[in-house]
Amino acid sequence: MKERLVVIGNGMAGIRTVEEIIARDSERYSITVIGKENYPNYNRIMLSNVLQNKMTVDEMVTNPYEWYQEQKIDLINHDPAVGIDPQQKRVTTEHGRQIDYDRLILATGSHPFILPIPGADKAGVVAFRTIDDTAAMMAAAAKYRRAVVIGGGLLGLEAAKGLQEQGMEVTVVHLAKWLMETQLDEKAGKLLQAELEEQGLRFLMEHSTSEVIGDTRVEGLRFADGTEIATDLVVMSIGIRPAVELAREIGLTVARGIVVDDFMHTSLPDIYAVGECVEHNGTCYGLVAPLFEQGKVLANVLTEQADIKPYTGSSTFTSLKVSGADLYSAGDVLHTEGLESIEAYDSAAKKYKKIFLKEGKITGIVLYGDTEDGSRYYNMMKKGQPITDLQSIAVLQAIGEQAGMGDDVLSWDDEETVCGCNGVAKGDVLRAIREQGLTSVAEVGKVTKAGTSCGKCKPQVQTLLTAELGEGVTTASGICGCTELSRDQIMTQIYAKKLLSTKEVFQTLGWQNSEGCGKCRPAVNFYLNVAWPAEHADEKASRVVNERMHANIQKDGTFSVIPRMRGGQTTPQQLIKLAQVAEKYQVPLVKVTGSQRIGLYGVKKQDLPLIWEELDMEAAQAYAKAFRSVKTCVGKRFCRFGTQDTMALGVKLEETFEYIDTPHKFKVGVSGCPRSCVESAVKDFGIIGVENGFQVLIGGNGGTELVAAQLLTTVQTEAEVIDICGALLQYYRETGIYGERTAPWVERLGFEHVKKVLLDPEKRQALNEALRAAAAAKGRQDTWRKTTENVDLREKMYTIDRPEFVKAGV
């Protein structure tokens, strides 16, 4: 006989706990869930996205009705619990239903706080807490023009921005001196206000509301100083209060919230509590990640797992879901008196960073304008990792490197947090991918909840998927799950609206995730480089991790260093340097690569800049979606079968086209005779020397799906080979889908069509001119002479000890 488990509350905390219980022991309990709202479980965090027209109500439903049926859960919906009898172990609902239990979970959540002022009960005064609240706001926006949001906190600002997106004139009234005063310091709060004012929001700061004016419906607000403002809608977003009425009635220990111990027990036997209704060690949490962490602990308790770890409290962070206002806050930024702090402010770029330190450890984080380092700092704060040997502003640059946690999630430890909103670690994501065969960001989100709240961790989830599955990652019908638009539709809009940055593309073309993800950000950055080579500044942060690092990351988190050796040629001096570096840095593997280079494998990330400096060689771009090194045989200079000087041609091709970005890697092989020792017939661009010149082949790909290259033409001179190669590169750049190899590209366009374009002298000339213009516009400064992570890593690591160090080749 199964035990009877009743959960009061159909919200995020209660259902997450149920999911965790089912994952551990699906046969243990007969489960009943009692909910107040007339909806299945949904992601409350996404209400602002619905209001901002970024998603629909259906899309924010986390567990549809079918899920309850599949899990054999009895859902009592739109019928809240009104009484509990702890002696009889029975719950009574508003409609009179009585449900017996063996174990009871209170996940009653919280209530929005409504100001106790005259007129607060008038029509047109709403909270922003539920789907119904959101629907009421949208209905008012369709009928009325003016809105006031009381509260300049996170939810209030998201509500204000959503109402503005609905077409209303919005004023935010806030009691404090600056916005989000519990999460931001004054400078960040003022920067945020300035940005939102530029977007059209209005603000009345340090205003205390004393009365709602109007007859039966709101017509305005009166403030404590006697001033007034006219409005048609008032949204109160000034905080929440734990819903503890039921708990108090049955005698549970209640302070601000329902008091629980480290294992989520209340003061009565067999009654537990999780979520916003809970108080643990004097703290109530209003963010999702702590609620989910509590749910995991309770699931372990209720399924009697071995070695149950207690809940010890949560570190929290905040991220605003408003386009154009990038901010991140974590830890305690209020109680900072007597603490050390490190601050960086770029007034021109409107970027601000500040970390608070106690005894050398991070206690609070404020980031505005550039939030990319948020996860690094947050994980260091959670671990209590001290900051040592770093001073002043260099900390903000090098702190992540010291932590051993680069920009790339692949180098993080498994316990590091990927999704701070939902408390999901890197190891959780990887286990889900491996054990449940997940192939998309959406599937990972459904199983782990990673990426289902603010969405800013989707690039990291995508990176983990790609690392695990390679080409087996599934996307939507568009280039990724962020959009349904195809490559051609995106390019058309980029040209038509002259979009010059990834952010402009995402905002203008209605990306579901306003930050993009690891799949679309590199693609859109590439398309912008092709469309506007002179006007679009290449966005290094949008490139894939290998291109940012200028090295291929290996499965153990180390990297490969592969210097360029044009035409496969090297010198004794280079060989000596390679040997010395490999010995000095204890490189585990030195290997001749498949492209006739010498690679150093197993290099530690922190050694990359030093190794590149000591080698004094350029990278072979073995990591890039770009024109790769040219593989050659020795040709007629040494081989008795050779008909052409292949090494010389290979060097000329590399010198002409190296560092040219392409939709996917572009490999070239130059063979001196039809024996084709360098496998020219499976290259993107293959050349085979014959007595009267060169056979030119295109569209060959090796790998899991072998595709033979097709003979394009035979030419007599090296200049003709280079001319055709340039035209092919540019046509591929202009028409290829990011991530598409030349073999499927040729198949998609049709070989005869591509051949017609490339063999047309006028079209070939135009393509080469476009390619030269693109290369000139970038000035080749996008190529790094001594390569590491955009060279920025070298600056980060050398700023303290070697201020004279500068970027080379820029």
CATH tag for 3-110+242-302 (out of 3.50.50.60, 3.40.640.10, 1.10.3470.10, 2.60.450.10): 3.50.50.60
Top mean pLDDT of 66-70, 506-510, 770-774 is at 66-70
Any known ligand binding at 677? yes
Any known ligand binding at 633? yes
Q: Where are the beta strands (DSSP E) in 128-232?
A: 146-150, 169-174, 202-205, 209-214, 218-223, 228-230
Residue % of the chain over a pLDDT of 90: 38
pLDDT higher than threshold 80 for residue 480: no
pLDDT in tens, 385-432: 777 544 444 445 543 444 333 446 777 778 888 887 777 888 889 988
pLDDT in tens, 336-380: 888 888 888 877 777 888 888 888 888 988 888 877 777 778 888
Structure confidence at residue 673 (pLDDT): 87
Structure confidence at residue 778 (pLDDT): 61
pLDDT higher than threshold 90 for residue 28: yes
pLDDT in tens, 491-525: 888 888 889 888 888 888 888 777 777 778 888 98
pLDDT higher than threshold 80 for residue 619: no
- The conformation of residue 489, written as its DSSP 8-state character, comes to H
Any known ligand binding at 639? yes
d(CA 270, CA 700): 67
Confidence of residue 798 (pLDDT cuts 50, 70, 90): very low
Give backbone dihedrals phi and psi of 543, rounded to 5 degrees, phi first.
Answer: -80, 160
pTM exceeds 0.85, yes or no: no
pLDDT higher than threshold 60 for residue 168: yes
Min mean pLDDT across 85-94, 371-380, 728-737 is at 371-380
d(CA 137, CA 161): 12
Structure confidence at residue 436 (pLDDT): 86
DSSP string, 611-631: HHHHHT--B--TTSSBEEEEE
Top mean pLDDT of 41-45, 172-176, 681-685 is at 172-176
Strands lying side by side in the sheet with 361-368:
317-319, 327-331, 361-368, 351-358, 340-346
Cα 63 to Cα 11, 32, 43, 48, 447: the distances in Å are: 10, 15, 9, 19, 11
Mean pLDDT of the chain: 84
Between 582 and 130, whose confidence is greater? 130
d(CA 497, CA 450): 33
Residue 421, helix vs strand vs coil: coil
The half-sphere exposure of 194 on its side-chain side, counting CA atoms within 13 A, is 11
Structure confidence at residue 556 (pLDDT): 64
pLDDT higher than threshold 60 for residue 269: yes
Structure confidence at residue 402 (pLDDT): 40
Confidence of residue 776 (pLDDT cuts 50, 70, 90): confident
CATH topology of domain 626-783: Sulfite Reductase Hemoprotein; domain 1 (3.30.413)
pLDDT in tens, 213-244: 999 999 999 999 999 999 999 999 998 999 99
Q: What is the mean pLDDT of residues 728-748?
A: 89
Angle at 283 between CA 127 and CA 273, to 5 degrees: 80
Top mean pLDDT of 258-262, 282-286, 354-358, 461-465 is at 258-262
Between 473 and 116, whose confidence is greater? 116
Q: Are 128 and 112 in contact (CB under 8 A)?
A: yes
Q: Where are the beta strands (DSSP E) in 281-422?
A: 317-319, 327-331, 340-346, 351-358, 361-368, 417-419
Structure confidence at residue 702 (pLDDT): 79
Closest CA to 288 of 24, 6, 14, 40: 14
Structure confidence at residue 321 (pLDDT): 64
pLDDT higher than threshold 90 for residue 209: yes
Any known ligand binding at 520? no
Q: What is the mean pLDDT of residues 277-303?
A: 93
Q: What is the mean pLDDT of residues 664-672?
A: 89
* Domains 3-110+242-302 and 125-238 are alike in CATH topology: yes
With b for 16 or more beta-carbon neighbours within 10 A and e for fewer, the 100-134 pattern comes to ebebbbbbbbbbbeebebebeebebbbbbbbbebb
CATH entry 1.20.950.20 includes domain 419-474: no
Domain boundaries, the chain: 3-110+242-302, 125-238, 419-474, 475-543, 626-783
Q: What is the mean pLDDT of residues 271-291?
A: 93
Q: Strand 3-8 to strand 103-106: parallel, antiparallel, or no bridges (unpaired)?
A: parallel
Q: What is the mean pLDDT of residues 12-35?
A: 95
Instruction: Return the CATH superfamily for domain 125-238.
Output: FAD/NAD(P)-binding domain (3.50.50.60)
pLDDT higher than threshold 50 for residue 809: no
Structure confidence at residue 488 (pLDDT): 82
Residue % of the chain over a pLDDT of 70: 88
Beta carbons within 10 angstroms of residue 606's beta carbon: 13
Between 400 and 211, whose confidence is greater? 211
Q: What is the mean pLDDT of residues 271-295?
A: 93
Confidence of residue 114 (pLDDT cuts 50, 70, 90): very high
Q: How many residues does the chain have?
A: 810
Residue 512, helix vs strand vs coil: coil
Q: What is the mean pLDDT of residues 7-17?
A: 95
Beta carbons within 10 angstroms of residue 308's beta carbon: 15
For 791, left (φ over 0), alpha (ψ -120 to 50), or beta? Answer: left
pLDDT higher than threshold 60 for residue 649: yes
